[in-house]
């Protein structure tokens, strides 16, 4: 993957395949590091799977023979002086954390984070997302549970609402 936002998309899609109904995505950027944290309430993994989940030849998908997402994220983080961590418990969910040294020559660009977050919300209206973005002192939070509570019976992927969400996200993570 060529962008960190695509890593985020891949990990969140893993969460959704693991039956997560709620996914928390945190992206923090300070002057020299990106921090990405993704936590879900999906089915999680047992200790045996957790030990080998970053092996590219291990996957939980029955129709595929390789699982590159976590191994590529780990490699991307470590190759630029960062770190990678994964925790999971069967029946409780999974937590993935990676950080990247921004000014390292091998650090991937963030990519189109705005479209990634909007796309996840719009294409998975039945799931809930908490998206937190922090750059320096500026913080932005978008919680679909709160939006859905206000909307009542209106679906979060209603065309007019998509425009609103796009503007909110663009304003919230503007550089």
pTM metric for this prediction: 0.92
What is the number of structural domains in the chain?
1
Residue 128 has pLDDT above 50, yes or no: yes
Give the pair of three-digit tokens for residue 76: 């991307």
Q: Which stretches of 3-105 are DSSP H helices?
A: 4-17, 47-52, 68-79
Residue 174 has pLDDT above 90, yes or no: no
Residue 70 has pLDDT above 80, yes or no: yes
Could you report how far apart the first and last alpha carbons of the chain are, in Å?
23
H or E stretch at 94: strand 93-101
Which structural domain, as residue segments, surrounds residue 117? 4-172
CA distance 73 to 34: 13
CA distance 139 to 68: 31
CATH number (domain holding residue 14): 3.30.565.10
Residue 36 has pLDDT above 80, yes or no: yes
Q: What is the mean pLDDT of residues 123-132?
A: 97
Ramachandran angles phi, psi of 161, nearest 5°: -75, -30
Tens-digit pLDDT profile for residues 43-67: 999 999 888 888 766 665 555 544 5
Q: What is the CA 26 to chain-centroid distance, rounded?
A: 7
Tens-digit pLDDT profile for residues 144-172: 999 999 999 899 999 989 999 999 999 99
């Amino acid at each position: 993957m060529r962008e960190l936002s695509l890593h985020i998309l891949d990990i969140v899609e893993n969460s959704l395949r693991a039956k997560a109904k709620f996914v928390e995505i945190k992206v923090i950027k300070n002057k020299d590091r990106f921090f990405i944290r993704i936590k879900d309430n999906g089915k999680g993994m047992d200790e045996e799977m957790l030990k080998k989940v970053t092996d590219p030849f291990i996957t939980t998908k029955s129709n595929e023979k390789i699982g590159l997402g976590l191994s590529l994220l780990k490699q991307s983080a470590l190759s630029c002086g960062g770190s990678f961590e994964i925790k999971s418990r069967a029946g409780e969910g999974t937590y993935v954390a990676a950080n990247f040294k921004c000014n390292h020559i091998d650090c991937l660009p963030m990519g189109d984070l705005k479209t990634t977050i909007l796309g996840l919300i719009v294409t998975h209206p039945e799931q809930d997302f908490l998206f937190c973005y922090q750059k320096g002192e500026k913080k932005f939070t978008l919680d679909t549970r709160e939006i859905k509570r206000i909307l009542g019976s209106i679906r979060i992927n209603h065309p007019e609402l998509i425009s609103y969400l796009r503007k909110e996200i663009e304003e919230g993570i503007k550089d």
